[in-house]
Amino acid sequence: MNNNNKNDKNKFYIATAIAYSSKQPHIGNDYDPVQADAIARFKRMNGYDVFFSTGTDEHGQKIEEIAKEAGVTPKESADRITGMIYNTYKRLNISFDRFIRTTDDDHNESVKKIFVKFYENGDIYKDYYEGLYCVPCESRFTPTQIKDAGGVCPDCGGNLREEKEEAYFFKLSKYREKLEKYIEENPDFIIPVQRKREIVNNFIKPGIQDLCVSRSTVKWGVPVEFDPEHVIYVWIDALSNYITTLGYNPVNTEQPDLFNKYWPCDLHIIGKDIMRFHSIYWPVMLWSLGLEQPKQILGHPWLLFGDEKMSKSKGNVVYSDELIEKFGADAVRYYLLSEMPFDRDTSFTYVNFIRKYNADLVNTLSNLVNRTVVMTEKYFEGVIPEPQTTVGVADTPFQKGAVVGDGVPDVPQIDVDTDLIETVISKSGDYAALMNEYRISEAIETISAILYRANKYIDETEPWVLGKDETKKDRLKTVLYNLLESIRIAGILLSPIIPEASGKIFAQINTDVTDYETVFEFGGLKSGVKINKAEPIFMRLDEKKILAEIEKE
Ligand SMILES: [Zn+2]
């Protein structure tokens, strides 16, 4: 149950895919950093030394073309979109340690040398590229892949462009067997399991062709050092960010401490659509450089709009910024993290967003905190009461079977207390296990179970009845203490999910007992402390009014 073993304390490096700076990402794209942030915060809370990297991919033909249309330089175009992405991440409270841009000097220098190293290792050769290319995806496909997709891009369904040019190729085929064996021998390398099956069956088993890794028709990219007419293929450039963000450069006689400490990556968080690049190109690149493989690659599902993928051309794009503006960062984080299953796509609707907000954040969480804080003010002048137990009956105040109140066994009361406490403790254990498997939406359900139980406890104990009877004062102390303590524990479990609200909970109940290890034992909250004034953490949304406003926009 307790996953907080002190001996486990070590480093944890987590990286998201870097966002492409061609257009403002929609809320579905922002799932990457939000999911990674929840995991990074959870790991930090567990005592891990975390390095969290995210950023932007700023090279390639698409950005070159967009800039040309807009009459600006590619760098200016990328700067503008990267600025938006960076600001959105900041507003979403994404706690990254480095926001890397593929236009950063250190990254560019390293990518040049990485390419040289591939070449020197004999993994790269020059030939001609002839075939079809997808501009938006910056991808080339084999004739079979194109045929299977019906003549269009297998990834995005868009039209392909005919191209012939002199180019460098990476000997991916040389690594096919090694890769297949590696994936087989490391069953947790690619998760969830259906992502792994797709990669093995659709891409590795049919045979891997050598990859074209340079372009001479594109100028906006990292030039090949020994042949500057060519720029390095954007995926080689982009994937390298996971090591350059730590200061890696193959020319270093010794890699920097940051790299030595954090590599290999513990977890890559990516969308399922780019699994192929991360589970084929990336491992092979690392082998060529003589580096260790990342420990795990998680391909998350998509957030759809209705039944479709969000896309600007379909006019069904929802942006995080708009939702943050209306509902706050925590609401967006909570929605994404609680609605997105581990392994299935889900759909965004405003109705669902608003209903979930009202049901979970307002009714279940905010009202519980508010009622409890208000009652503590009313009955105990805002001072956290001491729970009352009969000395000698139980070794610890909360041991199962402890007698509460005036020492006269009162079976129903003991039962509800025990049940509340056991629910809080057992759900905290479930939460830990699920968070360690990155099953965040399921972990959130365990927090909800605690909150439901605490709300039910109010109905069962009826503090307003106890408050009218002076002889029930001791019982009331226990009841409010148990509620405040349940809220404190829920606040800790919520901190990786909705950090702002979690901070507000701690402020209202005025506690500094917020260490993760304290959730596994009930009773950590200090009595005798004066709490702060009750203020709702989330306010009820008027569904009709908001939907009408959105309709008008
Ligand atoms: Zn495409």
pLDDT digits (tens, 9 = 90+) for 2-33: 444 433 459 999 999 999 999 999 999 999 99
43 in a structural domain: no
Closest CA to 338 of 465, 102, 496, 482: 496
- For residue 123, how many other CB atoms are within 10 A of its CB? 21
CA–centroid distance, 32 to ligand 1, in Å, is 20
Report pTM. 0.91
Q: Could you report the per-residue pLDDT of 243-252, keeping only the tens digit for each?
A: 999 999 999 9
Q: Is the pLDDT of residue 498 over 50?
A: yes
Provide the residues around ligand 1 (an ion) whose CB is within 5 A. Answer: 134, 137, 153, 155-156, 158
Q: What is the mean pLDDT of residues 432-449?
A: 98
CA–centroid distance, 157 to ligand 1, in Å, is 6
- Under 8 Å between Cβ of 448 and 360: yes
Whole-number pLDDT of residue 410: 45
CA–centroid distance, 133 to ligand 1, in Å, is 8
CA–centroid distance, 506 to ligand 1, in Å, is 47
Residue 409 maps to which CATH number? 1.10.730.10
CA–centroid distance, 158 to ligand 1, in Å, is 5
- Under 8 Å between Cβ of 280 and 178: no
Q: What is the mean pLDDT of residues 409-428?
A: 82
d(CA 220, CA 458): 63
363 in a structural domain: yes
CA–centroid distance, 464 to ligand 1, in Å, is 62
494 in a structural domain: yes
249 in a structural domain: no
Whole-number pLDDT of residue 414: 65
379 in a structural domain: yes
Residues 180/186/187/192 CA torsion (nearest 10 deg): -90
412 in a structural domain: yes
Residue with tokens 């304390």: 9
Whole-number pLDDT of residue 413: 60
Q: Could you report the per-residue pLDDT of 394-417, keeping only the tens digit for each?
A: 334 444 444 444 444 444 566 899
Q: Which two tokens stand for residue 536?
A: 């709702």
CA–centroid distance, 285 to ligand 1, in Å, is 23
470 in a structural domain: yes
Q: Is the pLDDT of residue 63 over 70?
A: yes
CA–centroid distance, 141 to ligand 1, in Å, is 10
Buried residues in 413-446 as b, exposed as e (16+ CB within 10 A): bbebbbebbebbbebbebbbebbeebbbebbbeb
Q: Could you report the per-residue pLDDT of 89-102, keeping only the tens digit for each?
A: 999 999 999 999 99
453 in a structural domain: yes
Q: Can you give the residue range of the structural domain that contains 365?
A: 352-520
| Structural domain count of the chain | 1
Q: What is the mean pLDDT of residues 453-481?
A: 96
